[in-house]
Amino acid sequence: MFDAAYDGLVALFEPATFGLMIVGIIIGLVVGLLPGLGGITAMVLMLPFTFDMSPTQAFAFLLGMFVVTSNAGELTSILFGVPGEGTTAATILDGHPMAKKGEAGRAMGGSLMSSAIGAFIGAGVLALGLPIVRPLVLSFGAPELFALTILGVTFIASLSGGSLTRSVLMGGLGFVLSSVGASPQTGVFRYTFDIAYMLDGIQLVPVALGLFAIPEIMDLAVRRSSIAEVDVGKVGGVMQGVRDTFTHIGLVSRAAALSAFIGLIPGLGSAAAQWLSYAHAVQTSPRKEEFGTGRIEGVLAPGASANAKEGGALIPTIAFGVPGSLAMSILLGAFIIVGLVPGPRMLSTNLDVTFSMVWILVIANLISIVFLFLLLGQLVRLTRVKGLILVPIILVLVWLGAFSNSSNFGDLVLLVVAGAAGYAMVALDWPRPPLVLGLVLGSLADKNLGIAHQRYGYDFFMDPTVMVIFGLAIASVVYALIQNARIAKARAAAGPPQGPDASGDPSGQPRQGAPHA
Amino acid sequence: MRKNSDIAFSTVLVAIFAFILFNGLTMDVRTRAFPVAVSAPMLALALFNLGRVVWASYGRKIGPAPELAGVTAPSEELTGSERLAALATAGRVEVDAATTRKRVVNILLWMAASFVLLWMIGFREGLPVFVFLFLWRESKDKLWFAVTLGVSTWLALQLFFGYFLNYPWPAPQIALWLGFDWPGIR
């Protein structure tokens, strides 16, 4: 095993392989910084170039490119409030408010450092998990996956920021929107209004861009100030962000481990991993009411998740040929192109190639983080650029990012609709994260519920694993409710509310800005 | 007017859940199971929320909404889109309501213009033109700066997105209407 690990490392440092990894990293950084254009798009576009490459070269190029897009995407989310990747939207919630407060450097430093630690944990999980994880992965069927999605849904309670009714309604809206398109059970089209674009369902990328980017663009255009409303100084607290990572090393490690586990389970998806990590940070913080206003923990947890999940997702891809995410299914294409067959042989005769992937996860991340740390000074300055100069540039990137989703003008229409909804939600103080989480998890719940019911009837609810996961879900809700009650009590003790809020909250307490921001 | 906006938004939610539920009831059991199972309790919750909002708005006297702290105009004097727009920027840079309304309308018109441009003459040509026009007319930047950024946008679209990423440019609508091939469109 150690010989294979050494061989994998040596193979990675061969000049051609290392050069290809650097090219992949540079492409990944550029693509990651552009809103909406994600690592998956880049991998699809670059896949044909791998035909003449050796297996290690192909993975160094593709995997190196893919893992760094998350790092760069986090920075776009922090700086502009625009998701650099469909899967980095959670970072906006606290990262962008930090940028507005002049703490972009701190947020980016924390994001990059936590991302590096997450990558190490993900790579560690991959290296150690390969031989022992087979029974776990194979034991997870549709009932367990359905139970896990329900567990994920209960995190909506943590994202409520005090207004549980609104959060549940937004989560429910995400769920029903996810049911648009073909039914995974029968193939019958639902709620499509005979519009061809709707047959594929409501797409995550245009919705995330619309909900988060359009309100930011309008905000910039109205305020006409720079993104940061205070002077950011030279680079503005990058090292503070790095120190924050180690101050909250427990949270970073837990978020990374949680994401590696979510990545490990085929079908739960990358976006879910980051949202659930963010929700975990909110849930475990004693100051959960401050999330959404610029808490560093709200940046560290999604940052740690960014690359840790890929380590987990690689395990079923390599060991069983079961892709743990959409990106992994594209990587599976690369396996076939370079003549490798995923499965037990990847753990025996091709173990060096497997270990080269572990090294790629670690080394590509280290290189990209060094690159990005060198660029931070310039990137932070963007937050002091006049808002009206950024507006057309961000809008161009948002149009391009949305259209690249499926090369259909329907993406742009969906972007506009989601943008209008996002603006109204910001104005009326409705939370946006539960809607995205509902959209991400809804289709998974729909599919797995159908399969589980068809296969086991309602008996699957009595499965011990399912019952344990449901137990965790109930505990998660109860914990969130207790936390909410504590916050309400603390507020009541702090002073009388100024007046009943217009949401109709009978308590009359002003809602906390928190994760809705 | 905040209360009316809140009521309108809550009503839209009720309408969406009701549509999903009642339309779902016309489908076969396996197709409708998930959307109906979700939308039925959500419809009840949305109705409850609507009732609460209406009650809070009309059932008793309410004070000014706390979110309006950063808006200069008294909240009672704001109406419609003024209030909605002002809420979005409340608590930060202070912008008076009339200016806010004007700027919101402006940016919406610019967004619409950018969409029309990219739809009519394509992404590669329409978006650089939009960047140039926005910087020159709306941002009031110097002409040389607007031209430079417009040209840079065009170069970035041509080289990075077009040549390198092989971005799937759609044919401009004007080319489809006139029936001729547009350079670079497959």
Distance from the Cα of A217 to chain B's closest Cα (Å) equals: 9
CA angle A437, A438, A444 (to 5 degrees): 100
Q: Which of A399, A425, A446 sits opposite B34 (nearest CB)?
A: A446
Which class for B155: exposed (0-12), middle (13-18), buried (19 or more C-beta within 10 A)? exposed
**pLDDT tens, position by position, A165-182:** 888 899 899 999 999 999
Q: In angstroms, rounded to a whole number, what is the distance separating the alpha carbons of residues A367 and A363?
A: 6
Q: DSSP state, A90? A: G
Distances (CA, A) of B70 to A138, B74, B75, B87, B94: 55, 10, 10, 9, 6
User: What stretch of H or E contains B43?
Assistant: helix B29-54
- CB contacts under 8 A, B 124-153 vs A, are 127, 130-131, 134-135, 138-139, 141, 149, 153
Residue in chain B lying closest to A425 (CA): B9
* Torsion angle of the four alpha carbons B163, B167, B168, B171, in this order, in degrees rounded to the nearest 10: -70
β-partners of residue A189 are A182
Q: In angstroms, rounded to a whole number, what is the distance separating the alpha carbons of residues A444 and A145?
A: 8
Distance from the Cα of A320 to chain B's closest Cα (Å) equals: 30
- Chain B CB contacts of A510 under 8 Å are 66-67
pLDDT of residue A514: 38
Backbone angles phi, psi at A190, to 5 degrees: -120, 135
Q: Which of A172, A186, A404 sits opposite B28 (nearest CB)?
A: A186
Name the residue range of residue A160's domain. Answer: 2-494+501-516
Query: Is A18 or A319 the better-scoring residue by pLDDT?
Result: A18
A506 and B28: CB-CB below 8 Å?
no
- Chain B CB contacts of A407 under 8 Å are 168, 170
Residue in chain A lying closest to B134 (CA): A392
Region of A457 on the Ramachandran plot (φ > 0 left; ψ -120 to 50 alpha; else beta): left
Distance from the Cα of B179 to chain A's closest Cα (Å) equals: 19
Can you tell me the mean pLDDT for A439-454? 84
Residue in chain A lying closest to B2 (CA): A502
Q: DSSP state, A190? A: E
β-partners of residue A182 are A189
Count, in order, helices (H) and strands (E) of chain A: 20, 2
- Chain A CB contacts of B30 under 8 Å are 183, 185-186, 450, 454
A502 and B3: CB-CB below 8 Å?
yes
Structure token pair of residue A108: 């980016």
Structure token pair of residue A147: 């139970």
**Where residue B83 falls among pLDDT bands split at 50, 70, 90?**
very low
Picking from A85-89, A189-193, A438-442, A493-497, which range would have the lowest pLDDT averaged per residue? A493-497
Q: Find which of A43, A153, A222 to mutate to test the B interface (most B CBs within 10 Å of its CB).
A: A222
pLDDT exceeds cutoff 80 at A459: yes
A403 and B16: CB-CB below 8 Å?
no
Can you tell me the mean pLDDT for B59-77? 43
- Chain A CB contacts of B55 under 8 Å are 504
How far is C-alpha A75 from the geometric centre of its chain's CA atoms? Answer: 13
Could you give the maximum distance between any two Cα atoms of chain A, in Å? 70
Can you tell me the mean pLDDT for A421-428? 89
- Chain A CB contacts of B107 under 8 Å are 217-218, 221-222, 391
Backbone angles phi, psi at A60, to 5 degrees: -60, -40
Q: In angstroms, rounded to a whole number, what is the distance separating the alpha carbons of residues A109 and A194?
A: 48
pLDDT exceeds cutoff 70 at A362: yes
- CB contacts under 8 A, B 44-103 vs A, are 45-46, 48-49, 52-57, 60, 62-67, 84-85, 87-89, 92-93, 95, 100, 103
pLDDT exceeds cutoff 50 at B63: no
A389 and B53: CB-CB below 8 Å?
no
**Where residue B82 falls among pLDDT bands split at 50, 70, 90?**
very low
Can you tell me the mean pLDDT for A173-192? 90
- Contact criterion met (CB below 8 Å) for B25 and B36: yes
- Contact criterion met (CB below 8 Å) for A118 and A303: yes
Can you tell me the mean pLDDT for A41-62? 77
**Where residue A135 falls among pLDDT bands split at 50, 70, 90?**
low
A498 and B66: CB-CB below 8 Å?
yes
**pLDDT tens, position by position, B115-133:** 999 999 988 889 999 999 9
Q: In angstroms, rounded to a whole number, what is the distance separating the alpha carbons of residues A166 and A156?
A: 10
Number of domains in chain A: 1
pLDDT of residue A496: 46
- Contact criterion met (CB below 8 Å) for B136 and B146: yes
Can you tell me the mean pLDDT for B127-150? 93
Q: Which of B31, B84, B130 sits opposite A185 (nearest CB)?
A: B31
Structure token pair of residue A384: 């002091």
Can you tell me the mean pLDDT for A451-471? 85
Distance from the Cα of B143 to chain A's closest Cα (Å) equals: 13
Q: Which of B35, B57, B111 sits opposite A176 (nearest CB)?
A: B35
Residue in chain B lying closest to A507 (CA): B56
**pLDDT tens, position by position, A237-289:** 778 888 888 888 888 888 888 888 777 766 566 667 777 888 888 878 777 77
Residue in chain B lying closest to A97 (CA): B92
**Where residue A326 falls among pLDDT bands split at 50, 70, 90?**
low
pTM over 0.80? The answer is no
Q: In angstroms, rounded to a whole number, what is the distance separating the alpha carbons of residues B125 and A59?
A: 36
**pLDDT tens, position by position, A379-419:** 767 767 788 888 898 888 888 888 877 788 898 999 999 99
Distance from the Cα of B113 to chain A's closest Cα (Å) equals: 11
Closest CA to A302 of A150, A74, A119: A74
pLDDT exceeds cutoff 80 at B135: yes
